[in-house]
């Protein structure tokens, strides 16, 4: 009897330990026909899982945990070539030529999955797919198992196909990325910076409207309506590159 009580106590302690320390599980899936090299950047003061970069073949799945209140961004790099020391380059999303991005972001244009998995004032998770830095690969993020109010953040259409020619980024004649108006012009007006750093003065451009029409569940410019920001509380999320339509 005493042993049983002890066992129960140990089980309870273990359970409480797991509940209090568990973070969030992220499942990355490469549903693209070709390899991708995801890049991960933890926000300031946050850890970076898997050294911030790795290779995924078509069909691969990678699972990792991030701690409570983690925030950061994940993006895909394409057509990378790295040597044995993990140095080289990618056609899109390159992080200074490194396989392991460790603290570096990806070179735009790049589709970015952004998330804040709880803060000191709220346990809610916020996540979105952003086209503010342009587009390279379709991507989606959704909670596993769903949940009340938990939406899907996604841009599931290949915007490279319908990219206005002025915004195209080409490699060997093939469009690999589509710049946002901000990226293409580097102007305060389109980037919502300086005197335009206000939703009243910074309006979506015709290109942001185009992005929004094709990918309504993604952020298309800095002050896009908050409907593209999802709020949720789940233990697992799946991020699919080239999600099925």
Ligand X SMILES: *[C@@H]1O[C@H](CO)[C@@H](O)[C@H](O)[C@H]1NC(C)=O
Binding stretches for ligand X (CB under 6 A): 83-85, 87
Closest CA to 31 of 129, 139, 131, 127: 139
By beta-carbon proximity to ligand X, the closer residue of 86 and 164 is 86
Q: How far is the CB of 39 from ligand X (least distance, A)?
A: 18
Q: How far is the CB of 90 from ligand X (least distance, A)?
A: 13
* Pairing mode, strands 236-241 and 24-30: parallel
CA gap 193, 182 in Å, rounded: 10
By beta-carbon proximity to ligand X, the closer residue of 85 and 120 is 85
By beta-carbon proximity to ligand X, the closer residue of 96 and 186 is 96
By beta-carbon proximity to ligand X, the closer residue of 84 and 195 is 84
The structure tokens listed for 86 are: 């993990």
Q: How far is the CB of 97 from ligand X (least distance, A)?
A: 7
Instruction: Give the list of residues 6+ apart from residue 11 with CB closer than 8 angstroms, or none.
Output: none
* Pairing mode, strands 139-143 and 153-155: antiparallel
Q: How far is the CB of 51 from ligand X (least distance, A)?
A: 17
């Amino acid at each position: 009897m005493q042993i049983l009580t002890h066992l129960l106590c140990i089980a309870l302690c273990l359970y409480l330990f797991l509940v209090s320390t568990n973070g969030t599980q992220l499942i990355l899936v490469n549903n693209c026909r070709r390899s991708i090299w995801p890049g991960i950047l933890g926000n300031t003061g946050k850890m970076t899982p898997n050294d911030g970069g790795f290779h995924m073949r078509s069909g691969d799945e990678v699972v990792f945990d991030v701690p409570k209140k983690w925030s950061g961004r994940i993006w895909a790099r394409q057509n990378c070539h790295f040597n044995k020391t993990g140095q080289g380059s990618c056609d899109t999303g390159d992080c200074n030529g490194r396989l392991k991005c460790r603290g570096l972001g990806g070179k735009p244009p790049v589709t970015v999955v952004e998330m804040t998995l709880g803060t000191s004032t709220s346990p809610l998770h916020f996540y979105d797919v952003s086209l503010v830095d342009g587009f390279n690969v379709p991507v989606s993020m959704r909670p596993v198992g769903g949940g009340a109010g938990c939406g899907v953040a996604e841009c599931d259409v290949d915007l490279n196909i319908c990219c206005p020619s002025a915004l195209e980024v080409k490699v060997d004649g093939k469009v690999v990325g589509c710049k946002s108006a901000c990226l293409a012009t580097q102007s305060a007006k389109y980037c919502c910076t300086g005197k335009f750093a206000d939703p009243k003065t910074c309006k979506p451009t015709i290109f942001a409207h185009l992005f929004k029409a094709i990918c309504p569940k993604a952020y298309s410019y800095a002050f896009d309506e908050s409907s593209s920001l999802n709020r949720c509380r789940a233990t697992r999320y799946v991020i699919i590159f080239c999600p099925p339509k």
